[in-house]
Structure 1
């Protein structure tokens, strides 16, 4: 599939995910359609606990209160299973949901699959109506948009 453009409806999906809060793992199902009404930041990342992914998601964790203050939610998506996500969340003190796309269906729906590495490091900002308003799709997986760049895109929506 092609990468959704700003102005396109975001592809809907439902994935299993988890949050680790106060030392407890909380599993749930996460659906884009259930997030309608709030801005959503989708951060696709290649792998749990890898150096660049850790730096990326930890930087978003540091700014999580700013996203929350804007009414936005943040979800991380990668192809690893929930047990791997749990270890990553615990080891990196991540408190936002990490979703598991082991089939790669959502990765393909967003057009961010990449041969050999699984997916391109990508971030989508989706507005409260489920429309893509901004995206960053990496060609090489070593760079990621800074939290303040994403926050500015969310601020433009509210």
Structure 2
């Protein structure tokens, strides 16, 4: 993957370790982009577990999972923390989406969102069912995030392509 991803570009495959809260258990496994084909995918890069804005963002997306599922999409949160940190974060806030560990930041670099000092810029990439990038937003400062409604609007628009 190149760091200058553009709309309409096929996203190259990647695999990251992660996990998802399922009732009382945290199911750990590897997540591979190509295995998610057939549904739209929202990749939400965020700087860190248990930080104020990241917590608000992921709680918002988690509480809106039915909206995403209704649009035949899933959400993956990606940050540099390890899977143990993600498990603690998911349990603390009852997050229902997979959280992936990009500890070496290779995937963040490939998407052009690795940043000195903060590690990873807050960014959202919408990838269609065939693995093509359809929309992206990369924050300069990361003090705010793209809302559930904004993502739903862009996902709805992807159905017309």
Partner Cα distance (2:13, 2:143) in 1: 27
1:108 Cα deviation from its structure 2 partner: 0.5
Deviation at 1:2, TM superposition (A): 2.3
TM-score when normalising by structure 1: 0.97
Structure 1 segments of 4 or more deviating over 6 A? none
Describe how 1:2-17 pairs up with structure 2 within 5 A: 2-17=3-18
Matched, 1:64 2:57: no
Matched, 1:91 2:92: yes
What is the deviation of 1:11? Answer: 3.0
Measured in 2, the distance between the counterparts of 1:5 and 1:55 equals 28
Aligned to 2:26: 25
Aligned positions of 1:48-127 closer than 5 A: 48-127=49-128
Residue-by-residue CA offset, 1:100-157 (whole Å, 9 max, x unaligned): 0011110011010111000110000000110000000000021111011001111112
Tell me the CA shift for residue 8 of structure 1.
Answer: 1.0
1:57-113 Cα deviation digits (max 9, x unpaired): 011111111101111010000000011000100111101100000111100110101
Which residue pairs with 1:149 in the alignment? 150
- SS for the counterpart of 2:155 is helix
Q: Secondary structure at the match of 2:18?
A: strand
Structure 1 residue matching 2:55: 3-state secondary structure:
helix
Gaps of 5+ in 1: none
1:37 is aligned to 2:54: no
Residues 19, 97 of structure 1: 8 Å contact kept: yes
Task: Name the TM-score, length of structure 2 as normaliser.
Answer: 0.95
Distance 2:29 2:3 in 1: 28
